Structure 1
Amino acid sequence: MSVLIDKLILLVGCFILYISNFNDIAGVYYLLGAISLTCFVSYFAYRRESFILILIFLVSSFIFPKFCFYFPLIIYDLYAYRHKILSFAGIIVFINFATDITPLTLTMLLLFSSISVLLQYKSEHLYQLHMDFKKLRDTSTEYNLLLRSKNKDLIEKQDYEIHLATLKERNRIAREIHDNVGHVLSRSLLQLGAIMATNKDKNMSKPLTALKDTLASAMNNIRDSVHDLHEDSIDLCASIQALLDDFKTYHTDFDYDMSENLPRNIKYCLIAITKEALSNLNKHSNASKLTIHLREHPGFYQLLIEDNGSNIKLNSNGIGLENMKDRVDNVNGTFRINTENGFKIFVSIPKTNYGGK
């Protein structure tokens, strides 16, 4: 838009300069020709067609000297393109025309030509500022998106660390209860049993029996609570990664995308299958690469274990494979094996209708 305004200003100035020197109908044709050429030059900007049009303008100015009154328009484009040959040709044409006009007209043309250079410089500068602004805006947007992504990753990492710390604390509490309270209750039950064995007073038999039942019930509750805390403290991702850490001679890839609140029986099932698969790999495979994918989908959990082994001897009646299949069947899942291009184990467990809690 800035270029069009600049050319309109120059066009009006050149036309006024022309009619101040000549008053003929030919001026209309020169005006239309100048408008057409400068518009097409702008349309084909920086393409071969634009240079051809400038050359046509220069040739026309040489053949029809009055066309040189619109020379500031072509200078505007020549300064933009910095084309040395066309610029030299333009200087020759202008010198040829300058010998046939009055000093005042020559001065006005030189003034308009200088103004066209300044206008082109101004437009270039504004365009460059606009491009720099767009680049800065795009860079700022990119950095903002990157910063948001980093913040999101940081928050997820912090949430995972908090979750892991919570699980460790649950495990510690379960261990403390088992080692302290559990042992105290066990000792109390043994002592109470000894007292009941040596008791001679029949009136104390019922109270002692009731006390023993109470302590036994407390012991069972403590045992259940410890088991629940311990089972809830298992982190599936950390457990699988710990298993993989023992396979340092293999190139391992672990892809994990699961929520934190998984049912405990699903955790145990996936961990047990992974243990059995890694054991089979270590014993029977010549693989060098191992990949484990654990993903949660809207309707099911998925486990994929694959290696690049070649000496595959599948025994469908093997105890290990049978155990894995039984574990998956217990949670109403699907267990599949594929031996093309390595050994693969596919496990799919629906999120509903599985056994246990």
Structure 2
Amino acid sequence: MKEFVDKLFIIILSIFTLIGIYTDTWKVLVIFLLITISALMSYLRIVEKKGILADKILEYLLGILSVFFPEVIIFIPVISYEAFLDRQIIVGIMLAAGFVISSLKMVLSARLMLGAVIGLAVFLAYRTEKMGKLLVENRKIRDEGEINKENLRKQNKNLLEEQDKSISAAQLSERNRIAREIHDNVGHMLSRSILQVGAMMVVNKDEKMKQELMSLRETLDTAMNNIRNSVHDLRDEAIDLKTALEEIAEPLKSDFNVTFEFDAEVGEISKEIKYATINIVKESVSNIIKYSKNENVDIRFYEHPSMYQIIVHDYAVNHGDGSVIDKTKVNRRTVPVIDPVSGEGMGLENIRTRAEKLGGNATFTNENGFRVFVRIPK
């Protein structure tokens, strides 16, 4: 847009300065050609490499014409503008020669005005080029600023997530500590008190005292049960399902390529589902360690609107032709693989039982490895 405005201004000055050298018949044609050539050069500049090459060729042709045809002198300011932008030194020399030759027949005032218009054209080209570079640099800085801003936003988000994880881990650790201290200290003292009261009831012959001791024992039993339930609740809340599953998968990493994915809101998962998931994955991992002759293991836990999904799959890598690598010839494990279709083995039955107990189901397939697929409703 800036080049268009510059050229329009140069064309107006060129016409005002030199149109008088043409006859009435040529004036309209010269003005038309001047505008057309200027527009064509601007168009070629914005086209890809072929357009730029055509623009340079056109500059050379007009430069040559300016030397041999004095009538082309009106085009020199516009061509000078283009030649400066393209750093066409040879074209510039030809334009200077054309200006000197063509202006010999002009009066001094017209010659000076034309020289001023050419100088102005070169200055406008320089200013436009500089502004273009500044604009590109400004856009680059702005883009880099946006990228840095986005990176900082991501880093800040990750930092907040890590802080939340650290706080959650600290809370879970504190709950475990409290539960352990209650169990080890208060629980043991209550257990000892219950045993002591029981011994006193056996030794004491006074019926009235026995009734009092019986009431005391019932109170201690109630306190013991309440503490036991509280300790269990604290431990249940302290279970981090994602961390627990990662720890279960850890032994696989020495022999398998493990892919672990966890996509769920941990705080919304009930303790029953947590325990079932841990045991299902633990049983599946145990079977893989014992029997798998493959090299890859996927462990995935997904939360859906109405259910949780557990997938544990060990499989082999495919050849390019789609056939599966036979790992039985190279794998050091020689224990035969359990047939998942027939349901052999207590481990698979335990997985199915745990899923069905929570209203879910478990399916097992043996296409390219062994795959455990469990659905548990929320």
Q: TM-score, normalised by structure 1?
A: 0.90
Q: How does 1:19-168 map to 2 (within 5 A)?
A: 19=19, 21=21, 24-45=24-45, 47=51, 48-55=53-60, 57-58=62-63, 61=66, 64-168=69-173
Q: Are 2:67 and 2:94, in contact at CA under 8 Å, matched by a contact in 1?
A: no
Can you list the C-alpha shifts for 1:144-186, whole angstroms capped at 9, x where unaligned? Answer: 1111111111111211221122112111111111111111111
Moved more, 99-108 or 207-216: 99-108
Distance 2:357 2:28 in 1: 95
What are the equivalent positions in structure 2 for 1:254-265 lying under 5 Å apart? 254-261=260-267, 262-265=269-272
Q: Aligned pair 1:319/2:346, yes or no?
A: yes
SS for the counterpart of 1:254 is strand
1:332 and 2:364 correspond: no
SS at match of 1:14: helix
| Paired position in structure 2 for 1:217 | 222
Match of 2:201 in 1: 196
The alignment yields a C-alpha RMSD, in angstroms, of 2.2
Instruction: Show the counterpart of 1:354.
Output: none
CA distance in 2 between counterparts of 1:62 and 1:86 reads 11
In structure 1, distance between residues paired with 2:37 and 2:296:
69
Helix, strand or coil: the match of 1:246? helix
The counterpart of 2:287, out of the listed 277, 280, 283, is 280
- Cα offset for 1:19? 4.0
1:60 positional shift:
5.5
Residue type at the aligned position of 2:312: I
Paired residues in the alignment total 351
Shift of 1:53: 4.0
Counterpart of 1:331, as a letter, is L
AA at the equivalent of 1:302? Q
Q: Deviations over 1:208-234 (max 9, x none)?
A: 211111111111111111111112211
**Contact 2:258–2:298 (Cα < 8 Å) also in 1:** yes
| CA spacing shift, 1:85–1:306, aligned 2, 3 Å | farther
| Per-residue CA distance 1:124-158 (angstroms, 9 max, x = gap) | 11111111111111111111111111111111121
What amino acid maps onto 2:157 in structure 1? K
Equivalent-residue separation in structure 2 for 1:323 and 1:49 (angstroms): 78
Q: Distance in 1 between matches of 2:349 and 2:24?
A: 105
In the TM superposition, residue 299 of structure 1 has moved relative to its aligned partner by: 2.5
Distance 1:31 1:256, change over 3 A: same
How has the CA–CA distance of structure 1 residues 238 and 10 changed in structure 2, closer, same or farther, with 3 Å as cutoff?
A: same
| AA partner of residue 256 (structure 2) | Y
Matched residue of 1:44: which SS? helix
Residue aligned with 2:116, SS: helix
Equivalents in 2 of 1:324, 1:200: separation in Å?
54
Q: Which sections of structure 1, spanning at least 5 residues, go unmatched?
A: 352-357
Question: Retained in 1: the 8 A contact 2:338–2:344?
Answer: no
2:305 pairs with 1:298: yes
Q: Mean alpha-carbon deviation: is it higher for 323-332 or for 250-259? A: 250-259
Residue in 2 that maps onto 1:18: 18
Q: Which residue of 2 aligns with 1:271?
A: 278
How far 1:348 moved relative to its partner? 2.1
The 8 Å contact of residues 81 and 122 in structure 2, kept in 1 or not, is answered as: yes
Give the superposition deviation at 1:52. Answer: 4.6
Asked if the contact 2:17–2:110 (Cα under 8 Å) also holds between the matched residues in 1, the reply is: yes
Q: How far is 1:94 from its partner? A: 3.3
Alpha-carbon separation, structure 2, partners of 1:274 and 1:242: 11
1:241-287 deviation line (CA, Å, top 9, x unaligned): 22222333333222222212111111111111111111111111123
CA 1:71/1:249 → structure 2, altered by over 3 Å: closer, same or farther? same
Report SS of the residue matched to 1:45: helix
Q: Is the 8 A contact 2:187 2:227 kept in 1?
A: yes
Report the CA distance between 1:207 and its aligned residue. 2.0
| Deviation per residue, 1:49-97 (Å, 9 max, x gap) | 4335435544664565223123111100111112345445434433442
Which sits farther off after the overlay, 204-213 or 94-103? 94-103
Quote the residue 2:258 is aligned against: 252
The answer as to whether partners of 2:300 and 2:312 remain within 8 angstroms in 1 is yes
Check conservation: 2:295, 2:314, Cα contact below 8 A.
yes
Residues 37 and 53 in structure 1, CA contact (< 8 A), matched pair in contact too? no
> Is the Cα–Cα contact under 8 Å of residues 40 and 53 in structure 1 kept in the other structure?
no
Shift of 1:25: 4.2
- Please identify, of 287-296 and 266-275, the stretch whose mean Cα deviation from structure 2 is larger: 287-296
